[in-house]
Structure 1
């Protein structure tokens, strides 16, 4: 994520809090109650985002992990393509021998 994206998200969250405050005031709450409930909504959203982040980190579904996995698979695929038919046959024989033991 780029720096400008983080700034934009931060400004968006700030604006959403202000908008929630205004909507709650228009809905009939006094300024103190509207302020409290807009904070409750923002904190609830933050906790929800944090839980999804922890879930993705725990299950290793993060962007970095996916990029690393894709890179490792590409390197292995390239090495496999570079093997001569004789080397490939030798490797398959070794794998079959290890499976039988």
Structure 2
């Protein structure tokens, strides 16, 4: 995550907290109750977001992992394209022997 992304996410969280506070006040909560409930809701939202991130990390469902897999596939494809027909035949025989 770039520095500007962190700034944008932080501002987004700050603005979201303010909007939630205003919504609670519009519903009829007094200032103190609206502040407490908006903070509680914001904490739940941030914890949920964090847990979803940790879940993606644990499952290796991250952009970096996908880029690495795509790169490895491209390298293998290029190596296959550069092989001579004799080398391809030899490789196919080796694969059949291992199976």
- Band the TM-score falls in, shorter-chain normalisation: over 0.9
Structure 2 CA distance, aligned partners of 1:85 and 1:79? Answer: 12
**TM-score normalized by structure 1?**
0.92
Alignment of structure 1 residues 1-101 onto 2, 5 Å: 1-99=1-99
State the number of aligned residues: 99
Runs of 4+ in 1 over 3 A off after TM superposition: none
Structure 1 gap segments, 5+ residues each? none
Q: Secondary structure at the match of 2:60?
A: coil
Structure 1 CA distance, aligned partners of 2:9 and 2:97? Answer: 56
**TM-score normalized by structure 2?**
0.93
1:13-44 Cα shifts (integer Å, max 9, x gaps): 10110111112112111111101100111101
Computed over aligned residues only, the root mean square deviation of the Cα atoms, in angstroms, reads 1.0
Structure 2 CA distance, aligned partners of 1:16 and 1:91? Answer: 58
Shift of 1:4: 1.6
Structure 2 CA distance, aligned partners of 1:81 and 1:7? Answer: 45
